[in-house]
Structure 1
Amino acid sequence: MENIGILFANHPHRPPDPSLIATCVAACYECGSLLVACSDACLAEPRVAELVCCIRTSLDCADVCLATARVVSRLTEPSPMLLEVQLTACAEACRVCSEECDSYAAMFEHCRICAKACRACEQTCRALLHGASLT
Protein backbone atom coordinates (compact mmCIF):
# COMPACT_ATOMS: atom_id res chain seq x y z
CA MET A 1 0.00 0.00 0.00
CA GLU A 2 3.00 2.32 -0.05
CA ASN A 3 2.03 3.42 -3.56
CA ILE A 4 -1.14 5.05 -2.25
CA GLY A 5 1.00 7.42 -0.19
CA ILE A 6 3.08 8.25 -3.24
CA LEU A 7 -0.05 8.88 -5.27
CA PHE A 8 -1.56 11.15 -2.59
CA ALA A 9 1.72 13.09 -2.30
CA ASN A 10 1.59 13.73 -6.05
CA HIS A 11 -2.15 14.31 -6.44
CA PRO A 12 -3.14 17.72 -7.88
CA HIS A 13 -5.32 18.22 -4.78
CA ARG A 14 -2.56 17.25 -2.38
CA PRO A 15 -3.92 17.09 1.17
CA PRO A 16 -2.12 18.81 4.06
CA ASP A 17 -0.97 15.45 5.47
CA PRO A 18 -0.99 12.79 2.73
CA SER A 19 0.68 10.22 4.98
CA LEU A 20 -2.18 10.38 7.50
CA ILE A 21 -4.72 9.77 4.74
CA ALA A 22 -2.61 6.99 3.22
CA THR A 23 -2.27 5.29 6.62
CA CYS A 24 -6.03 5.42 7.12
CA VAL A 25 -6.80 4.07 3.65
CA ALA A 26 -4.28 1.24 4.06
CA ALA A 27 -5.67 0.32 7.49
CA CYS A 28 -9.24 0.31 6.16
CA TYR A 29 -8.34 -1.92 3.20
CA GLU A 30 -6.31 -4.29 5.36
CA CYS A 31 -8.98 -4.51 8.03
CA GLY A 32 -11.75 -5.08 5.49
CA SER A 33 -9.81 -7.83 3.76
CA LEU A 34 -8.87 -9.55 7.01
CA LEU A 35 -12.46 -9.45 8.23
CA VAL A 36 -13.71 -11.17 5.07
CA ALA A 37 -11.04 -13.86 5.44
CA CYS A 38 -11.78 -14.26 9.15
CA SER A 39 -15.49 -14.66 8.42
CA ASP A 40 -14.61 -17.42 5.98
CA ALA A 41 -12.40 -19.06 8.62
CA CYS A 42 -15.25 -18.85 11.14
CA LEU A 43 -17.53 -20.59 8.63
CA ALA A 44 -15.06 -23.47 8.54
CA GLU A 45 -15.01 -23.93 12.32
CA PRO A 46 -16.80 -27.02 13.66
CA ARG A 47 -19.16 -25.02 15.91
CA VAL A 48 -20.03 -22.39 13.32
CA ALA A 49 -23.51 -21.81 14.78
CA GLU A 50 -21.87 -20.20 17.82
CA LEU A 51 -20.05 -17.74 15.55
CA VAL A 52 -23.00 -16.35 13.60
CA CYS A 53 -22.95 -12.97 15.37
CA CYS A 54 -19.18 -12.71 14.96
CA ILE A 55 -19.43 -13.55 11.26
CA ARG A 56 -22.22 -11.04 10.68
CA THR A 57 -20.46 -8.29 12.63
CA SER A 58 -17.22 -8.95 10.78
CA LEU A 59 -18.84 -8.85 7.36
CA ASP A 60 -20.73 -5.65 8.19
CA CYS A 61 -17.53 -4.04 9.48
CA ALA A 62 -15.63 -5.19 6.38
CA ASP A 63 -18.18 -3.45 4.16
CA VAL A 64 -17.88 -0.24 6.16
CA CYS A 65 -14.06 -0.38 6.12
CA LEU A 66 -13.84 -0.97 2.39
CA ALA A 67 -16.35 1.78 1.64
CA THR A 68 -14.42 4.13 3.92
CA ALA A 69 -11.16 3.38 2.11
CA ARG A 70 -12.77 4.24 -1.21
CA VAL A 71 -14.42 7.44 0.06
CA VAL A 72 -11.28 8.70 1.81
CA SER A 73 -9.17 7.94 -1.28
CA ARG A 74 -11.07 10.49 -3.33
CA LEU A 75 -9.23 13.75 -2.80
CA THR A 76 -10.98 15.90 -5.39
CA GLU A 77 -13.74 18.13 -3.95
CA PRO A 78 -14.55 16.04 -0.86
CA SER A 79 -17.53 16.77 1.34
CA PRO A 80 -16.11 17.38 4.84
CA MET A 81 -19.42 16.37 6.41
CA LEU A 82 -19.59 13.10 4.48
CA LEU A 83 -15.98 12.28 5.30
CA GLU A 84 -16.57 12.98 8.97
CA VAL A 85 -19.65 10.77 9.10
CA GLN A 86 -17.94 7.97 7.16
CA LEU A 87 -14.81 8.01 9.33
CA THR A 88 -16.92 8.09 12.49
CA ALA A 89 -19.01 5.16 11.27
CA CYS A 90 -15.90 3.17 10.41
CA ALA A 91 -14.28 3.86 13.77
CA GLU A 92 -17.44 2.78 15.57
CA ALA A 93 -17.91 -0.33 13.42
CA CYS A 94 -14.30 -1.30 14.14
CA ARG A 95 -14.77 -0.72 17.87
CA VAL A 96 -17.84 -2.97 17.96
CA CYS A 97 -16.21 -5.61 15.79
CA SER A 98 -12.99 -5.68 17.80
CA GLU A 99 -15.02 -6.39 20.93
CA GLU A 100 -16.90 -9.20 19.19
CA CYS A 101 -13.72 -10.73 17.76
CA ASP A 102 -11.94 -10.36 21.11
CA SER A 103 -14.56 -12.61 22.69
CA TYR A 104 -13.27 -15.46 20.47
CA ALA A 105 -9.60 -14.47 20.34
CA ALA A 106 -8.50 -17.03 22.93
CA MET A 107 -10.05 -19.84 20.86
CA PHE A 108 -9.29 -18.69 17.32
CA GLU A 109 -6.14 -16.99 16.11
CA HIS A 110 -7.99 -15.57 13.12
CA CYS A 111 -10.33 -13.70 15.49
CA ARG A 112 -7.39 -12.35 17.48
CA ILE A 113 -5.77 -11.06 14.29
CA CYS A 114 -9.01 -9.38 13.22
CA ALA A 115 -9.61 -7.77 16.60
CA LYS A 116 -6.12 -6.26 16.38
CA ALA A 117 -6.72 -5.01 12.82
CA CYS A 118 -10.04 -3.47 13.88
CA ARG A 119 -8.39 -1.59 16.74
CA ALA A 120 -5.70 -0.28 14.38
CA CYS A 121 -8.30 0.81 11.81
CA GLU A 122 -10.39 2.51 14.48
CA GLN A 123 -7.33 4.43 15.68
CA THR A 124 -6.36 5.59 12.18
CA CYS A 125 -9.91 6.72 11.41
CA ARG A 126 -10.02 8.70 14.66
CA ALA A 127 -6.54 10.12 13.96
CA LEU A 128 -7.66 11.34 10.56
CA LEU A 129 -10.83 12.81 12.07
CA HIS A 130 -8.92 14.73 14.73
CA GLY A 131 -5.53 15.26 13.19
CA ALA A 132 -6.03 16.57 9.70
CA SER A 133 -8.18 18.82 7.64
CA LEU A 134 -10.74 16.79 5.74
CA THR A 135 -10.85 19.18 2.80
Structure 2
Amino acid sequence: MERIDTLLANHPQRPPDPSMIAAGVAACYECGNLSVASSDACLAEPRVAELVCCIRTCLDCSDVCLATARVVSRLTKPSPMLVEAQLMACAEACRICAAECEIHAAMYEHCRVCADACRACEQACRALLHGAP
Protein backbone atom coordinates (compact mmCIF):
# COMPACT_ATOMS: atom_id res chain seq x y z
CA MET A 1 0.00 0.00 0.00
CA GLU A 2 2.99 2.29 0.45
CA ARG A 3 3.35 2.80 -3.30
CA ILE A 4 -0.28 3.75 -3.87
CA ASP A 5 -0.08 6.09 -0.86
CA THR A 6 2.97 7.78 -2.38
CA LEU A 7 1.43 8.00 -5.83
CA LEU A 8 -1.85 9.50 -4.59
CA ALA A 9 -0.06 11.94 -2.26
CA ASN A 10 1.97 13.22 -5.20
CA HIS A 11 -0.73 13.18 -7.87
CA PRO A 12 -1.36 16.60 -9.48
CA GLN A 13 -5.05 16.17 -8.55
CA ARG A 14 -4.16 15.28 -4.94
CA PRO A 15 -7.31 14.32 -3.03
CA PRO A 16 -8.03 15.77 0.44
CA ASP A 17 -7.38 12.40 2.12
CA PRO A 18 -5.07 10.31 -0.08
CA SER A 19 -4.51 7.72 2.64
CA MET A 20 -8.24 6.91 2.78
CA ILE A 21 -8.36 6.43 -0.99
CA ALA A 22 -5.16 4.36 -0.89
CA ALA A 23 -6.64 2.13 1.82
CA GLY A 24 -9.80 1.65 -0.25
CA VAL A 25 -7.87 0.83 -3.41
CA ALA A 26 -5.64 -1.61 -1.51
CA ALA A 27 -8.66 -3.30 0.09
CA CYS A 28 -10.31 -3.66 -3.32
CA TYR A 29 -7.20 -5.18 -4.89
CA GLU A 30 -6.68 -7.55 -1.97
CA CYS A 31 -10.30 -8.65 -1.95
CA GLY A 32 -10.34 -9.06 -5.72
CA ASN A 33 -7.23 -11.21 -5.66
CA LEU A 34 -8.29 -13.29 -2.65
CA SER A 35 -11.77 -13.83 -4.07
CA VAL A 36 -10.44 -15.28 -7.31
CA ALA A 37 -7.93 -17.41 -5.38
CA SER A 38 -10.69 -18.67 -3.11
CA SER A 39 -12.85 -19.59 -6.09
CA ASP A 40 -9.90 -21.57 -7.46
CA ALA A 41 -9.49 -23.32 -4.10
CA CYS A 42 -13.21 -24.16 -4.13
CA LEU A 43 -12.76 -25.74 -7.56
CA ALA A 44 -10.13 -28.05 -6.09
CA GLU A 45 -12.34 -29.25 -3.24
CA PRO A 46 -13.74 -32.80 -3.45
CA ARG A 47 -17.32 -31.55 -2.95
CA VAL A 48 -17.06 -28.84 -5.59
CA ALA A 49 -20.70 -29.22 -6.64
CA GLU A 50 -21.74 -27.83 -3.25
CA LEU A 51 -19.58 -24.76 -3.86
CA VAL A 52 -20.85 -23.64 -7.27
CA CYS A 53 -22.70 -20.61 -5.86
CA CYS A 54 -19.67 -19.69 -3.77
CA ILE A 55 -17.37 -19.95 -6.79
CA ARG A 56 -19.62 -17.78 -8.94
CA THR A 57 -20.10 -15.22 -6.17
CA CYS A 58 -16.35 -15.01 -5.54
CA LEU A 59 -15.60 -14.50 -9.23
CA ASP A 60 -18.26 -11.79 -9.54
CA CYS A 61 -16.98 -10.09 -6.40
CA SER A 62 -13.43 -10.20 -7.73
CA ASP A 63 -14.44 -8.52 -10.98
CA VAL A 64 -16.33 -5.76 -9.16
CA CYS A 65 -13.50 -5.18 -6.67
CA LEU A 66 -10.80 -4.94 -9.32
CA ALA A 67 -12.90 -2.58 -11.44
CA THR A 68 -13.58 -0.47 -8.36
CA ALA A 69 -9.88 -0.22 -7.52
CA ARG A 70 -9.19 1.07 -11.01
CA VAL A 71 -12.08 3.57 -11.01
CA VAL A 72 -11.28 4.95 -7.56
CA SER A 73 -7.56 5.31 -8.24
CA ARG A 74 -8.21 7.57 -11.25
CA LEU A 75 -8.20 11.06 -9.79
CA THR A 76 -8.31 13.21 -12.90
CA LYS A 77 -11.80 14.56 -13.65
CA PRO A 78 -13.84 11.75 -12.05
CA SER A 79 -17.59 11.56 -12.32
CA PRO A 80 -18.69 11.68 -8.66
CA MET A 81 -21.92 9.84 -9.45
CA LEU A 82 -20.07 7.05 -11.26
CA VAL A 83 -17.51 6.68 -8.46
CA GLU A 84 -20.30 6.61 -5.87
CA ALA A 85 -22.24 3.98 -7.83
CA GLN A 86 -19.11 1.87 -8.23
CA LEU A 87 -18.32 2.05 -4.51
CA MET A 88 -21.90 1.13 -3.65
CA ALA A 89 -21.79 -1.82 -6.05
CA CYS A 90 -18.49 -2.98 -4.59
CA ALA A 91 -19.71 -2.75 -1.01
CA GLU A 92 -22.77 -4.80 -1.94
CA ALA A 93 -20.78 -7.39 -3.91
CA CYS A 94 -18.46 -7.78 -0.93
CA ARG A 95 -21.38 -8.11 1.49
CA ILE A 96 -22.96 -10.82 -0.65
CA CYS A 97 -19.67 -12.68 -1.17
CA ALA A 98 -18.80 -12.54 2.53
CA ALA A 99 -22.21 -13.96 3.44
CA GLU A 100 -21.79 -16.81 0.95
CA CYS A 101 -18.24 -17.60 2.05
CA GLU A 102 -19.26 -17.54 5.71
CA ILE A 103 -21.63 -20.43 5.00
CA HIS A 104 -18.58 -22.56 4.15
CA ALA A 105 -16.00 -20.95 6.44
CA ALA A 106 -16.17 -23.59 9.17
CA MET A 107 -15.24 -26.28 6.67
CA TYR A 108 -12.92 -24.39 4.31
CA GLU A 109 -10.26 -21.97 5.56
CA HIS A 110 -10.00 -20.30 2.15
CA CYS A 111 -13.66 -19.32 2.45
CA ARG A 112 -13.01 -17.79 5.89
CA VAL A 113 -10.07 -15.79 4.54
CA CYS A 114 -12.14 -14.60 1.60
CA ALA A 115 -15.05 -13.61 3.85
CA ASP A 116 -12.70 -11.56 6.05
CA ALA A 117 -11.24 -9.77 3.01
CA CYS A 118 -14.74 -9.09 1.71
CA ARG A 119 -15.85 -7.58 5.02
CA ALA A 120 -12.74 -5.37 5.10
CA CYS A 121 -13.31 -4.21 1.53
CA GLU A 122 -16.98 -3.54 2.20
CA GLN A 123 -15.99 -1.34 5.15
CA ALA A 124 -13.33 0.46 3.11
CA CYS A 125 -15.83 1.20 0.32
CA ARG A 126 -18.39 2.47 2.80
CA ALA A 127 -15.74 4.65 4.45
CA LEU A 128 -14.94 6.18 1.04
CA LEU A 129 -18.64 6.76 0.40
CA HIS A 130 -19.08 8.54 3.72
CA GLY A 131 -15.74 10.36 3.52
CA ALA A 132 -16.29 11.65 0.01
CA PRO A 133 -17.29 15.31 -0.29
**TM-score range for the pair, normalised by the shorter chain length:** over 0.9
TM-score normalised according to structure 2 size: 0.99
Partner of 2:6: 6
Partner of 2:73: 73
Aligned to 2:121, the other structure's residue is in SS state helix
Matched, 1:47 2:33: no
Q: Give the Cα separation in 2 of the matches to 1:2 and 1:78.
A: 23
TM-score normalised according to structure 1 size: 0.97
Q: Give the Cα separation in 2 of the matches to 1:37 and 1:45.
A: 13
Q: Tell me the amino acid that sits aligned with residue 98 of structure 2.
A: S
Number of matched pairs: 133
Q: Give the Cα separation in 1 of the matches to 2:45 and 2:85.
A: 35
Q: Give the Cα separation in 2 of the matches to 1:74 and 1:19.
A: 14
Contact preservation (8 Å) 1:28, 1:68? yes
Give the root-mean-square deviation of aligned CA atoms. 0.5
Q: Give the Cα separation in 2 of the matches to 1:130 and 1:121.
A: 14
Partner of 1:91: 91
Partner of 1:27: 27
Q: Which runs of 5+ in 1 are unaligned?
A: none
Structure 1 position 2, deviation (Å): 1.3
Aligned to 1:71, the other structure's residue is in SS state helix
For residues 56-99 of structure 1, the C-alpha deviation after alignment (integer angstroms, 9 at most, x for no partner) is 00000000000000000100000000000000000000000000
Q: Give the Cα separation in 1 of the matches to 2:117 and 2:18.
A: 21
Partner of 2:16: 16
Partner of 2:102: 102
Structure 1 segments of 4 or more deviating over 2 A? none
Aligned to 2:15, the other structure's residue is in SS state coil
Structure 1 position 132, deviation (Å): 2.6
Contact preservation (8 Å) 1:16, 1:132? no
